[in-house]
Amino acid sequence: MSENETLAAKQDMPISNRWLVVGGAILIQLCLGAIYAWSAFTAKITAADGIYQFSASQAAWVFSAGLGVFAILLLFAGKLLATLGPRKLTAISAIVFGGGYVLGGFFGGTFLGQLICIGIIGGAGIGLGYVVPIKVGIAWFPDKKGLISGLAVAGFGFGAVLWVKLAGSWFGGLLNTADGMMGLPGVQAVFVIYGIIFTVFVLLGSLVMVNPPEGYKPEGWTPPPPSAKAATGAVDLTRGEMIRTPQYWGLLAMYTGSALAGLMVIYCIKLFGIDALQTSGAAANATIAGAMAGTAMAWYSILNGLGRIVWGVASDKIGRKMALTAMCVLQGVIMLLFFKMGHSVLGLTVGACIIGFNFGGNFALFPSATADFFGNKNVGTNYGLVFIAYGVAGIAGPQVAGFFKDAAKGGDVSAWTTPFLIAGIACLVAAAIGLMLKPPKHAHIEA
């Protein structure tokens, strides 16, 4: 038995292989990522002849509420993690998150019902559980922070593919086949089914959410020494120390600009695809266009998951600063081109893939950058403050798109040009900030 295994045994750590933690993390995030499947429901709940008849802005508010509450709860999740431990906090997340969807099924017949159950309660469940796999994963893999941050949240991106396809097309599409189940319309019946699945799966993942023993180091790995020239995570800053550094505010601004594009497209890709593909003649009617846009969203989700891994690995090789800057530049350029691309099936799909790939990179790069700049020890609490940017972007992105969509008369497709322009510029500004980032100065760092 190795030294680390002996330490784990003494501290009752039932983890025989650290890669089991990664498996549990992916299972948890596979469920929490269901919020990105919201586009599967937007056409149904905004249909003028449907039972809900929400406006585009109302549909955006359910999604935005989930993202905003997610980000707010993440502020407290770090402290709860230290108090309750990763297993208990993940179990609570499972009950709150899954419970929100079940309640949304039974009480989600109105905008207010969906806003509270799916948006607020569901978003709270995500916020409580999201940080656990990241913190536990980085603790077990200090030698591979970029890779593990990517893997730990890859399920969040991949999960949307599963939930979008299950709702829309696989096995006839649950939105169709579950219609009338328990006396509920299709949308609400799917909420109930998903809520039960989420609760069970996240509880299973919680079983391997265990911290390594104090002082744990992977076999053969030596921590890099503190340096004034490179952000290595060797110096630990508290929340109070972190927010007094310009690096914190730089990361916050970068994250807001970069996430704005991805979250906007997650919300509106089906609505935009229906408008653009019909206008160009690529689709004969809204049903066909919606199916094509749904496929593009599925590819978005697949590339979103891959982007978390690829950008994480790339950042371990070229450095977090270069990876962040490159990601934001590429995202900015594609957002400026997306309106034109979206008028063909191929263009819509390729654009969605690139946007999803870059958006996924946020979730590998920003937790790792937080650990690099402000230390590994407090990343669970520090990242909550950085993640505020995601909440801001989650409200701004969908709301900007929803506003211009509702303001358009007669469904004019040109209404989408302005929100995409705003998102593209925001990404390029984020890239410029990235070029100026330097390691924070701190009294504990020796030149």
Question: Over the stretch 26-81, which tens digit does the pLDDT of each residue have?
Answer: 899 889 988 888 878 887 888 778 888 888 888 888 988 998 898 888 888 878 88
Model pLDDT, residue 198? 95
In 23-34, which positions are buried (b, 16+ CB within 10 angstroms) versus exposed (e)? ebbbbbbbbbbb
CA 236 to chain centre: 26
Average pLDDT over every residue of 360-369: 85
CA 50 to chain centre: 29
Is the pLDDT reported for residue 16 higher than 60? yes
**Residue 3, in any domain of the structure:** no
Q: How far apart are CA 182 and CA 427, in angstroms?
A: 45
Higher pLDDT, 301 or 221: 301
**Residue 319, in any domain of the structure:** yes
Is the pLDDT reported for residue 248 higher than 80? yes
Model pLDDT, residue 156? 76
CATH number at residue 274: 1.20.1250.20
Q: How far apart are CA 337 and CA 424, in angstroms?
A: 9
279: exposed, middle or buried (Cβ count in 10 Å: 0-12, 13-18, 19+)? middle
Cβ-contact 243, 362 below 8 angstroms: no
Q: Convert the pLDDT of each residue in 296-350 to its tens digit.
A: 888 888 888 788 888 888 887 888 888 999 999 999 999 999 999 989 999 999 9
CA dihedral 85, 87, 91, 93 (to 10 degrees): 60
Model pLDDT, residue 7? 39
pTM equals 0.72
Is the pLDDT reported for residue 165 higher than 90? no
**Residue 7, in any domain of the structure:** no
Model pLDDT, residue 60? 84
Q: How far apart are CA 96 and CA 120, in angstroms?
A: 10
> Using H for helix, E for strand and C for coil, what is the string for the chain?
CCHHHHHHHHCCCCCCCCHHHHHHHHHHHHHHHHHHHCHHHHHHHHCCCCCCCCCHHHHHHHHHHHHHHHHHHHHHHHHHHHHHCHHHHHHHHHHHHHHHHHHHHHHCCCHHHHHHHHHHHHHHHHHHHHHHHHHHHHHHCCCCHHHHHHHHHHHHHHHHHHHHHHHHCHHHCHHHHCCCHHHCCHHHHHHHHHHHHHHHHHHHHHCCCCCCCCCCCCCCCCCCCCCCCCCCCCCCCCHHHHCCCHHHHHHHHHHHHHHHHHHHHHHHHHHHHHHHHHHHCCCCCHHHHHHHHHHHHHHHHHHHHHHHHHHHHHHHHHCHHHHHHHHHHHHHHHHHHHHHHCCCHHHHHHHHHHHHHHHHHHHHHHHHHHHHHHCCCCHHHHHHHHCHHHHHHHHHHHHHHHHHHHHCHHHCHHHHHHHHHHHHHHHHHHHHHHHHCCCCCCCCCCC
Model pLDDT, residue 346? 94
Model pLDDT, residue 37? 84
| Percent share of the chain, pLDDT over 70 | 89
Is the pLDDT reported for residue 3 higher than 50? no
Model pLDDT, residue 226? 54
**Residue 390, in any domain of the structure:** yes
215: exposed, middle or buried (Cβ count in 10 Å: 0-12, 13-18, 19+)? exposed
Q: Convert the pLDDT of each residue in 102-154 to its tens digit.
A: 999 999 889 999 999 999 999 999 999 988 888 888 788 877 766 777 777 77
Average pLDDT over every residue of 436-440: 78
**Residue 409, in any domain of the structure:** yes
Q: How far apart are CA 135 and CA 362, in angstroms?
A: 16
**Residue 65, in any domain of the structure:** yes
**Residue 2, in any domain of the structure:** no
**Residue 4, in any domain of the structure:** no
Query: What is the CB neighbour count within 10 angstroms for residue 313?
Result: 17
* pLDDT grade for 230, boundaries at 50, 70 and 90: very low
Average pLDDT over every residue of 84-104: 94
- Across the chain, what does the average pLDDT equal? 83
How many domains does the chain fold into?
Answer: 1
Cβ-contact 94, 129 below 8 angstroms: yes
Q: How far apart are CA 268 and CA 265, in angstroms?
A: 5
Model pLDDT, residue 297? 83
Model pLDDT, residue 447? 34
CA 148 to chain centre: 15
Domain extent for 175? 17-215+229-436
Model pLDDT, residue 441? 67
